[in-house]
A and B are shown apart, each in its own frame.
Chain A
Amino acid sequence: MTLLNDHKQFDPVRPGEQWFFYWKTSASLWESRIVQFPQHEIIFIPLYWGFHADSGTDWDFGRIQPERDLLRLTQLLNQHGRKFCWILPLTPAPFLPNGGISVYSARSLSIGREGVHLAVFDHEFNLNKMFSYFEPKVFQSFTGFLKAFGNFLGTNKIKAPIWGASFFYYQEGEKYSFMEDFSIAFDQGFSRYLKKTFPKGADVTNPRTEAELKASFTKEVEQLFNATAEAALGPFWMGVQKIVSLGAGPRESIIRSLPSGKSQLGFTRDIFQHFVNSEWISSALLSFQEKKELLNWILAEHFGSTEIEQRYNYQGQSPQLEQEFRRFGVVDIFGGKRHHESEKIGLIQFLENNFRWLYQSQDQLPFNPEWIDLNQSKLKFFHGPDLDRTTFAQILKLFMMGQRILLNRSGLGEAFEKKLQIFLIENNIKIQEVNFMTPTQLCELGEGRLILFEGDKLVENSSKEKYWDELFKYFNLVQPEIIMDDDIFTMWRIRATSQHELSYLDVRRVNIYNPTSYKKNVTIKTHKHFAFMKMIDPTRATAKSTTDGVDIELLPNGKIALDFGHYEEI
């Protein structure tokens, strides 16, 4: 795809991830823009709810302004046979002026934890200022909108699903919600909350206690917005998506305003970091210049239509591999994010060195049949302190289903320890004790493996990577070895073999990207488990087959994809 084509495809009304910004263009142009979406794609319509406010209490869905005519919009979508759904912001939305709040209730600007106002550049470099959701008028206005919108949907028999969306930004490796606020509006709300929750007075002299109370107040308000939306729009409500906006946050606003702007490398690094953290991203804030070639390719190839529809549960995946490539990973890590436990015990470092972008950190265990079948082959790590009774029981079930579980028992509650011992005895589990760097128990039940280890003892050990090295040898995970610089990015996918490829177990594709302005070399060693099959779409890149793998040369902004057949060990 050329730069010219990219430019043609960039449309401020369709800024990415199949979103449609109806308020960004004249209603007379909606139809021409809608037909530009590929027929099969679901169209996501973020609701700019403040835009529909005709006064503090009246809501307009087309009676006054044609650009607010959501009935006409839905009729156009139906007329062209497009599937669509609404996205309702439940926090300030960075891509909307005032964060989505109407001018009648936008009173107090949101303040971030460093004391600066939350202001974000949109994809046209307009500065969107976020307003506090803790201002009582905002909630009143929000409930007013929900009521009017619910009536509008009911009256016009519009049955499209509605997703709630909470928006986040990353700053220096930490995730922050756009709900978080340190403004006077927040302080006033917090003071009312304290009076109500602690009628006899609360002791907030300790800054830590105060911070904890503020966090729980923020969470309660967030839940209030969620619950109110769900109650008002119940029949159409699908749930809440957490979305990380690329290019948002006070620090990002500064860097994006500079003449040099944020580099492709910077954005690519963010995207891959969010991928590892299992965060769903939005590129709606990025301009054409920022979203040029390489970034566009990465977004299209790995966060495109299929991934979007899977994320919003429109498309399931079969537990068996199919002819279409799907994302491939080997490890899922649950919990341990809050105190960076996985980093402390050296697990992340090991995975970064050996299974880069083949692992993901998850917030919670999605214990449902589809997920269990789909992720059967992945190793699953759990951290003791983060377990509740349900997750603990689910871990044991997964083990009994034949899955491979690793449990860091440091910080595991006494009750869980007891349950674990009873479980092992009752089920007559075969246990091997190993004392290598830290006491480790290898439990086996059929194909199931449960590895119990004490992570605390690894924290201070300078050669802890050796522990993981040995442990992973036990699991015998085979994967081509990639030798590359830190600023080269890869994404693996997998598919079933076709009739002509029966000598292989599966086929794996690696996409390699060079977002730097330097020439880079990458070497892939196949280690007698993989055979190089072909290269796909090399752009400013070349690949050469060697006796033990493939040598690749990537020019600046170059990319290539390579297919490997996976065969059994000789």
Chain B
Amino acid sequence: MSLNLIYHFQISQNQDVDFRPASYGVVYFFSQDGFLDPKLLTEMSKTVPDADHSHLHFLNLDDLKAFALRVCQELSIREVRLISVQDYNIGLDGSRDHKSFNSIFDKYGEILINESAKKKGLLSKLFS
């Protein structure tokens, strides 16, 4: 079981009077069972300081990765694959069907391992 996260980089913007700094935003975050609960994501984003919790925007890629791993830990899932919108689009361009679509994350995703789940997995195997 793994999680998949598609993110995009947004340049800084002046929205009317509000200034929004450049950020990495979550576009889609899902597991094999479907999209993750937005409330859980908002809650987990609060573990990352300086993030825009309501829009799930992070100031840098490291913060986004920390957030993704934190969600993994919360759900006890072994790994999360991060993929930028640009890479996802390249993958889409080369996909023809269901099978090739599903392989986009294997081909282009950057894998982050949740070490705690990995350890838990080994231990549980030993004691099962």
Contacts and interface: CB of A to CB of B under 8 A. Distances in A.
- The number of chain B residues touching the other chain, given as a range, is 20 to 34
Given A251-B28, A258-B30, A260-B32, A119 B92 contact: yes
A367 interface: no
Contact of A255 (B34, B88, B100): B34
A334 to B, nearest CB: 31
Interface in B69-128: 85, 88-89, 92-93, 95-98, 100-102
B102 A257 contact: yes
Given A129-B93, A260-B33, A116 B98 contact: no
B98 A114 contact: no
Interface in A152-194: none
Interface size classification for chain A? 20 to 34
Given A115-B89, A251-B28, 10 more contacts: A116-B27, A116-B88, A127-B95, A127-B96, A127-B100, A127-B101, A207-B16, A254-B28, A258-B30, A260-B34
Interface stretch (B7-15, B39-47, B49-57, B60-68): B7-15
Given A260-B32, A260-B33, A117 B92 contact: yes
Contacts of B14: 207
Contact of B101 (A116, A253, A259): A253
Given A116-B27, A117-B89, A253-B101, A126 B96 contact: yes
Contacts of B30: 254-255, 258
A125 B93 contact: no
Nearest to A287: B98
Contacts of A259: 32
Contacts of B97: 125-127
A129 B27 CA distance: 19
Interface string A101-128: 0000000010100111101010001110
Contacts of A435: none
Given A109-B89, A206-B16, A258 B33 contact: yes
Scoring A115, A121, A127, A254 by chain B CB atoms within 10 A of each residue's CB, the highest score goes to: A115
Contacts of A119: 92, 95, 101
Contacts of B35: 251, 254-255
Given A127-B92, A254-B30, A116 B100 contact: no
20 contacts: A109-B89, A109-B93, A115-B8, A115-B85, A116-B92, A117-B89, A117-B92, A127-B97, A127-B98, A206-B16, A207-B13, A251-B35, A254-B28, A255-B34, A255-B35, A257-B101, A258-B30, A258-B33, A260-B33, A260-B34
A8 interface: no
Interface in B1-41: 6, 8, 13-16, 27-28, 30, 32-35
A208 interface: yes
Interface of B: 6, 8, 13-16, 27-28, 30, 32-35, 85, 88-89, 92-93, 95-98, 100-102
Contacts of B33: 258, 260
A119 B85 CA distance: 13
Q: Is the interface of B mostly helix, strand, loop or mixed?
A: mixed
Interface centre among B8, B28, B92 (most CB of A within 10 A): B92
Contacts of A121: 98, 101
B98 A125 contact: yes
A322 B34 CA distance: 45
Nearest to B28: A254
B29 to A, nearest CB: 10
A457 B33 CA distance: 43
Closest 3 CB pairs of A and B: A125-B98, A115-B85, A117-B92
Contact of A116 (B32, B85, B96): B85
Contacts of B8: 114-115
Contacts of B93: 109, 117, 129
A129 B33 CA distance: 25
Interface in A256-285: 257-260
A415 B7 CA distance: 49
B53 to A, nearest CB: 18
B8 to A, nearest CB: 5
A387 B13 CA distance: 35
B43 to A, nearest CB: 19
A253 B27 CA distance: 14
Interface string A208-222: 100000000000000
A6 to B, nearest CB: 21
B13 to A, nearest CB: 7
Which of A109, A127, A129 counts the most B-chain CB atoms under 10 A from its CB? Answer: A127
Contacts of B96: 126-127
B27 A114 contact: yes
B98 A257 contact: yes
A250 B28 CA distance: 10
Contacts of A114: 8, 27, 85
Given A116-B85, A116-B89, A116-B92, A207 B34 contact: no
Contacts of A129: 92-93
A115 B27 contact: yes
Contact of A208 (B16, B92, B95): B16
Nearest to A266: B34
Contacts of A126: 96-97
A197 B43 CA distance: 47
Contacts of B102: 257
Residue from A121, A126, A254 whose CB has the most chain B CB atoms within 10 Å: A254
A177 B109 CA distance: 30
A126 B95 CA distance: 9
A8 to B, nearest CB: 23
A250 B89 CA distance: 11
A254 B83 CA distance: 14
A401 to B, nearest CB: 46
Nearest to A124: B97
A205 to B, nearest CB: 8
Nearest to A258: B32
B56 to A, nearest CB: 12
Nearest to B10: A115
